[in-house]
Chain A
């Protein structure tokens, strides 16, 4: 089966610009998660979709971040306007069922650099 796919793999943008990251989960996985790792820090949870609904968005840092999952398939994460502190690696993961007994499958991540 195809794994979790993220696009682009790298993005370099200037402060104030907009960037949209995309994640395609494993087919049939209703649960989709976004995590990010800011340089030198822990990987932190951003939000969790169950199908097209936001189950938990407690990790979203501020209203410059907007995540969508129209139709319950792929998801996008938009950062507008981007700030320097948004630089880091953004990971997407998907799982078949809700709960940690269902393994999380991670994508390779998108490395975002804001200059």
Chain B
């Protein structure tokens, strides 16, 4: 079974500065990995997914993530944070053919 670990419960950045949200996975096989975002009182929205194609995955809203097998990592980045990026972010991996295992979430705070 796969597990994912989000290394930071909270990340604070200033508007216009880069964003880095960290995620490590453990899996004995090639994983499928995902990043979701949840804005207050909203559902989970898929940002991007990795499914063993290109290791650099581009998602919506300027986010991207790089799959690094040697580091068992799938960190989420964005060059320049916007106020609207403030939300909770979840890294997830497949734990079955169609089920997901989620990390504990990282709250991104963006200050003006």
Interface residues of A (CB under 8 A from B): 3-4, 9, 31, 33, 35, 40-45, 48, 55-56, 59, 91, 93, 95, 98-101, 103-109
Contacts and interface: CB of A to CB of B under 8 A. Distances in A.
Contacts of B42: 108
B99 A4 contact: no
B100 A108 contact: no
B43 A107 contact: yes
B29 interface: no
Interface string B21-50: 000000000001010100001111110010
B77 interface: no
Given A41-B104, A42-B102, A43-B102, A100 B45 contact: no
Contact of B51 (A48, A55, A100): A100
Contact of A42 (B32, B45, B104): B104
Contacts of B97: 98-100
A103 B90 contact: no
B94 A100 contact: yes
A100 B90 contact: no
Contact of A104 (B95, B96, B100, B104): B100
A45 B43 contact: no
